[in-house]
Structure formats: C-alpha cells, structure tokens
Amino acid sequence: MPISTGLNSDRIRVGIILPEDKITKLSLSWTSELEVVSDIGHLGTTQSLELSIEGDKILVSGWENPLVVSQLSLTSADEVESLETSYGVHIDSVIAGRGFHWEKHIAVDFPGQLLLSVEEGSFKLINHVNVEAYVACVATSEMGAEAPANLLAAQTVVARCWVLALAEAKHLAEGYDVCNDDCCQRYQGTSFLTPHSLKAAVETKGEVLTYNSQVIDARYSKSCGGMVESYETVWGGDKVPYLVPLWDGPVQLDGQAVDDFETYWAYDQAYCSSKRFESVNLSGMLGKVDESGSYYRWEQKIDKKTILSNLKKYTGLSWQVLDNIRIMERGPSARIIYLYLDGVDEQGNIAEYKLVSEYKIRQMFSDSFLYSAAFVIKNEGTLKQDDHIYLKGAGWGHGAGLCQMGALGMALDNINYKDILAHYYPGVKFTQL
C-alpha cells in the first residue's frame, strides 16, 4: 500500500555518532567472511581501520599507507535474511542512552553503508540501511533477544510503523532521518540479534498497522505504569484515535488513574505490573542498556539544588530558593501536563515558573532524566523547609501507545502478537506492505 506521509524509501539514514558525542578516534573492524566495499579503494585483506581527525578531514591508518580523506564509506550487505549476530562492520565505542541516566559506551556492529565525515571537529557517522534490517535490530536493542517471540514480533511491527510514519522527523535538517537512541528508537546494530529474534523479524516482514489507510504513528515507551497515556497529554494537539488512555490489564476498569491515586498506586493487575515478573529473569528480556527492573513503581529523592541548577541550565533563570511545586494538571495516567515552581530569584524577588510537557518535567526533576512524569510529592507538607524532594512515581517513559513491559507481560501469558498490538492500538488494521 502507499504510504501517504513519512519515509518515502525502503532505506533509512540513522545517525550513529554525532558531533555532540565529541568522538575524535575510532576503530573499525570486520571478519574475513564479510565483503566490505569502500570509496577509498580496494581493501584487499584489510580487516580493520584506525581513524582519527586531522584538521577537518579523516586520517585513515591500517590500510596500505595512511591517507587523508574528506569522507569515508564502508558498505556491506543488509538484507534482513542475511543478518546474524554481530554481522557487519564493528565499531568499538558508540554512545547508548545519549543524555539519559543510563548513558554508556557500547561496542556495536552495523550492516549497510557507514558514511563517516568530520563536523565541528568531531566524527559524524551515518548508517544507510534497509528498513527491514533496521527494524530487526531495533527489536533487540529496545528489548532483549531472549524475550518471547510474540513480544519480539510486536516490537518489530511497531518499530516498522514508527519509522515508516516518521511523524516527528526530528533530524532531517542534520542530514539523517533518525538517531540511534532513545530520542528516536534504539538501534544498536546486529550486536544482540539471535536466530530466535531474527525469526520474528522475517516472519513479520512488511507487516504494518494502519488507520484510515495510513501507516500509524506507533508511539511506545518502556512502562506505562498501569494505564496507557493519551497522545495529547504528551505532545498536545488533536487526539489520535488509536493512542488513547486504557488500563493496561485484561479488564478495563471504571475511571482513570488520575481519579484515585491511592487505588492506582495499589493496582497490580496490569500486564506491566512488577508482580508479573517476580519469577522471571528480566536481564535477558530487557534492552542491554537497561537496568534490571520492571519500572512499575519507584521512589526517588532529589536535592532542591539539582532543580535550581536545571532551572538555570534549561531556562537561564537564576533562583536562590525553591519554596513550592504546584502540580496543576495531569493526564489520564497521572502524568503531569504542567506545574509551577515557586521560589525566590537572585534579586530576592518572589518568582514563579510554569513548566510544561512531561519531557521537560522529567528533564527538570533529575540530574539526568526522571523515569516518568507520573509522580506525587511525598513531602509536600514540609517542602518549603526541606532541602530535598521525595517523589513517588509510576512507569518509565511517556506512557502512550505500546507499553513494552506490558507487551512482555502479555507475551509471557502466551498472548499472540496481533492481540498485543490490538490491545495497545485500538481500531487499527493489520496490513501487508
């Protein structure tokens, strides 16, 4: 079927190393079985290259005589059927979780074309890759390859829809379609693929969800916390008919999470409830950069100094004191839509700041990034004199669309991937491209 909006191609450009990463040295390697073609000439028996920056160009070592080039490309096959674990060109260090509290460096392997250049004194690496190969890799970057087949199939279909719809298209001005990280979708190459996960990708090849004959904008997050959030709570604008609030359990209850906090915090029948994973080894079922937890309920202590520092960092406002936090509006899943910070500015004047959007709230209330905006303040009554804030929260991420932990809970109950997707995206149709 035609895709009326979004990616008009069967290949996608993924930003792997960005100028903001400040990487100036790279080691690339590949196996002798992999056929690699380069724009610097025939590589012969070369199986590794050492790269560094010389001015605004790339110094290539490890191949005949060192040479300096403006850009470098390495290309290998990228049909999904040819993939296997650690297939492609190996890069020794790539950032995962860029700007989030789980940020770390990992080694990765990428199929397709790697196009390397220098920008702002640092490397910029773009991976041009087949969409089917890309979504197969996304599934085991977002979740673990040991997860049930129905979870991997659901995640693959959702990743395919997300990238084909390309509703946000945050990075087009930067010369690529999506980045490799949580800003878009996690894409850590073939490093974590297994025959089990590849089978799920091949068997769902070309399968998408549609609404009104268009590929849907399939949003998803790690854990909704018990209730799936609505689209407009997170991103504003008009309602999206398949991104609606619903209880993430086998029974749809009356009301919404925001209606009765005490009942919601005690709710443990959700597919994503930590109760469902008590006897499950989550380490093999979660993404490799995740912590081993269900993220269903959490508590966190934050120093007021952290929030005042973030206020200056993200808004330019310098305050002496933070006195109060007024939560003004919440979405159905209890995620905060906007709140006010009250305090005293550096001139000694009473000040307030309106903080809007769950993303900015999560950014403000952490020294890295808060799990979600579905929280209450436990020490609200003593907040003015306390030097810290105690948060009690639910879920990880924006909570709209597919809940990955909930989908995992459903798959562990042997629920088919199509039923999983129908649960999270009501009213959609299954279509073969």
pLDDT at 103: 78
Confidence check: pLDDT of 7 > 70: no
Taking a C-beta distance cutoff of 8 angstroms, is the pair 416, 152 a contact?
no
Q: Which residues contact 269 (CB under 8 A, 6 or more apart)?
A: 249, 250, 251
pLDDT of residue 76: 95
| Statement: residue 294 has pLDDT above 80 | no
Q: Strand 297-303 vs strand 388-394: parallel, antiparallel, or unpaired?
A: antiparallel
Provide the pLDDT for residue 4: 39
Query: Residues with Cβ < 8 Å from 366, sequence gap 6 or more?
Result: 101, 300, 302, 306, 310
Query: What is the pTM for the complete model shown?
Result: 0.90
- Residues with Cβ within 8 Å of residue 14, at least 6 apart in sequence: 126, 127, 128, 129, 134, 176, 177, 178, 179, 180, 187
Q: What is the dihedral of CA 378, 381, 387, 390, to 10 degrees?
A: 0
Residue 290 has what pLDDT?
59
Which tokens sit at 284?
């093999």
For residues 323 and 343, the answer to whether their CB atoms sit within 8 Å is yes
| Residue 1 scores a pLDDT above 60 | no
Both structure tokens of 121: 């004194």
User: What mean pLDDT do residues 247-263 have?
Assistant: 96
Position 420, amino acid: I
User: What are the strands, taking DSSP E only, across 18-71?
Assistant: 25-29, 37-38, 48-54, 57-61, 67-69
Higher-scoring residue by pLDDT: 259, 171:
259
For residue 198, which of 160, 164, 156 has the smallest C-alpha distance? 156
**pLDDT of 172 over the 90 cut:** no
Average the pLDDT over each of 76-90, 258-272, 275-289, 356-370 and give the range with the smallest value: 275-289
Mean pLDDT of 326-333: 97
| Non-local CB neighbours of 42 within 8 Å, separated by 6+ positions | none
Share of the chain above pLDDT 70, in %: 96
Look up residue 345 and give its two tokens. Answer: 């500015």
Helix, strand, coil in percent for the chain, rounding step 5? 25, 30, 45
Max CA separation in the chain (angstroms): 71
Give the SS3 label for residue 272: coil
Closest CA to 418 of 120, 200, 126: 200
Question: Does residue 182 carry a pLDDT above 90?
Answer: no
Tokens 């009104």 identify what position? 212
- 397 in Cβ contact with 374 (< 8 Å): no
CA atoms within 13 A on the CB side of 129: 33
E strand or H helix that includes residue 419: helix 417-424
| Beta carbons of 230 and 221 less than 8 angstroms apart | no
Report the mean per-residue pLDDT for the chain. Answer: 91
Q: Are 307 and 367 in contact (CB under 8 A)?
A: no
The answer to whether residue 133 scores a pLDDT higher than 50 is: yes
The mean pLDDT value for 20-32 works out to 93
Whose tokens are 């904008």? That residue is 217
How far, in Å, CA of 223 to CA of 371, rounded? 9
Instruction: Tell me which range, 99-108, 124-133, 141-150, 159-168, is most confidently predicted by mean pLDDT.
Output: 124-133
In angstroms, rounded to a whole number, what is the distance separating the alpha carbons of residues 320 and 364? 16
Determine the average pLDDT of the residues in 36-57.
Answer: 89
Residue 148 pLDDT > 60: yes
pLDDT of residue 95: 83
DSSP string of 321-386? EEEEEEEEEE-TTS-EEEEEEEEEETTS-EEEEEEESHHHHHHHTSSS--S-S-EEETTGGGTTT-
Element (H, E) at 432: strand 429-432
Q: How far is CA 93 from CA 32, 115, 129, 168, in A?
A: 21, 16, 19, 28
Least confident piece of the model among 116-120, 156-160, 197-201: 197-201
Strand ranges inside 3-56, DSSP E: 11-17, 25-29, 37-38, 48-54
* Among the listed residues 198, 194, 203, 258, the one whose alpha carbon sits nearest the alpha carbon of residue 226: 258
Is the pLDDT at 2 greater than 50? The verdict is: no
> Above 80 in pLDDT, residue 292?
no
| pLDDT (0 to 100) of residue 45 | 83
> 394: part of which helix (H) or strand (E)?
strand 388-394
Q: Does the structure show a pLDDT above 80 at 151? A: yes
Residue 291 is predicted with a pLDDT of 57
